[in-house]
Amino acid sequence: MVNQNLIESWLAVMMIPGMTTAQAIRDLNDELGTLYTAQDFGKFRRGSRPIPQPMQDYMLRCAIGYAIGQSGVSIDDDLLDGIVDRLVPPKRR
């Protein structure tokens, strides 16, 4: 199955067998200190609401780290952060 957007790619990486989307959203909220709901997530997934930049950065980091690991390469956190930093817009000041 080809993942067609960042939300779907992140879910494919993060959801272990038996895990629900609601559990994945709770984990994301715990990691980012946010309170997104399944309804918010649906809007992000459909593109009717933009994905907040911190969420995009986190999802990209998870998806890229997973893809690199699946290719048999180990990567440290600093290098992974550097890759993600080069793929996302600059942080607003």
1 assigned to some structural domain: no
Task: Give me the residue label for tokens 């699946």.
Answer: 70
Angle CA(86)–CA(73)–CA(14) in degrees, nearest 5?
A: 70
* pTM score of the predicted model: 0.79
pLDDT, tens only, 36-90: 999 999 999 888 999 998 999 899 888 888 888 888 888 888 988 888 888 877 7
Closest CA relative to residue 50, chosen from 61, 58, 41: 41
Q: How far is CA 26 from the centre of its chain?
A: 13
Give me the domain span that covers residue 64.
Answer: 6-87
- Residue 71, domain member (yes or no): yes
> What are the pLDDT digits (tens) for 9-18?
888 888 888 8
Residue 55 counted as domain residue: yes
As for how many domains the chain has, the answer is 1
What angle in degrees, to the nearest 10, is found between the helix axes of 21-32 and 53-70? 110
* Residue 92: inside a domain: no
